[in-house]
């Protein structure tokens, strides 16, 4: 399963809730990046340069981190990807990783939200948790990059018929209910 949406749409929060309710591991590229940056791994040092500017981490760096994470034993009974793939090339790379294990994505949950709402959410988050990548200019850049690059990912998965739209605006519990209803609807098909 994949959860996708623009920065600030609630992917991380909803991924945790889905993970808890369905008993599958949630894999966040943001968490993978932060672990590597804190650990000052070679990939983490490279990723930090891009993260600090609000740019997406290049595919080759991201792909290596994700490939390693998907090789761990806790993903054998299913997983939820949060924040990956972000580009069409990453979709192809993920397909290759999954094909080796004779797996595929069953559903792509796309959280939707208005850009102005997202800017407001991210600025509020920046006040609570100081992050170098949460200021107005960087937030706008990340949203522009999302629209330019990540929407192609959604198009690829939509062509496969596995995208389910979920309104990401509203109280967290309400959005979670929408997400769980969307998953149940997909499972019923």
For the segment 131-183, what is each residue's pLDDT rounded down to a tens digit?
A: 666 688 888 988 998 888 888 899 999 999 999 999 999 999 999 999 999 99
Whether 131 is a known active-site residue: answer yes
Radius of gyration for the chain, computed over Cα atoms and rounded to the nearest angstrom: 16
Of the candidates 100, 131, 136, 160, the residue annotated as catalytic is: 131
Q: How confident is the model at residue 115 (pLDDT cuts 50, 70, 90)?
A: very high
Of the candidates 17, 69, 121, 142, the residue annotated as catalytic is: 142
Q: How far apart are CA 76 and CA 79, in angstroms?
A: 8
Q: Which residues contact 170 (CB under 8 A, 6 or more apart)?
A: 178
Q: In what order do the strands lie in the sheet with 2-4?
A: 25-28, 79-82, 2-4, 108-112, 163-167
Whether 21 is a known active-site residue: answer no
Q: How confident is the model at residue 76 (pLDDT cuts 50, 70, 90)?
A: confident
Domain CATH code at residue 63: 3.40.50.300
Q: How far apart are CA 11 and CA 133, in angstroms?
A: 17
Region 78-90: mean pLDDT is 90
Number of domains in the chain: 1
Q: How far apart are CA 125 and CA 112, in angstroms?
A: 18
Whether 121 is a known active-site residue: answer no
| Range(s) of the domain holding residue 85 | 2-188
pLDDT at 129 over 80: no
Residue 142: per-residue pLDDT: 85
């Amino acid at each position: 399963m994949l959860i996708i949406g623009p920065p600030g749409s609630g992917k991380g929060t909803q991924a945790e809730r889905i993970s808890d309710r369905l008993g599958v591991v949630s894999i966040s590229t943001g968490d993978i990046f932060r672990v590597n940056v804190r650990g000052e791994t070679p990939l983490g040092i490279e990723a930090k340069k891009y993260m600090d500017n609000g740019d997406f981490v290049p595919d080759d760096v991201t792909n290596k981190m994700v490939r390693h994470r998907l090789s761990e034993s806790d993903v054998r009974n299913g997983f939820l990807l949060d924040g990956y793939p972000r580009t069409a090339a990453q979709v192809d790379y993920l397909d290759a990783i999954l094909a080796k294990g004779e797996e595929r994505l069953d559903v792509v949950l796309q959280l939707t939200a208005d850009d102005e709402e997202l800017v407001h959410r991210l600025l509020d988050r920046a006040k609570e948790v100081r992050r170098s990548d949460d200021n107005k200019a960087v937030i706008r850049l990340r949203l522009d990059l999302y629209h330019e690059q990540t929407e192609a990912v959604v198009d690829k998965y939509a062509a496969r018929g596995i995208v389910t739209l979920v309104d990401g605006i509203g109280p967290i519990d309400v959005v979670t209910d929408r997400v769980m209803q969307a998953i149940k609807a997909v499972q019923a098909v």
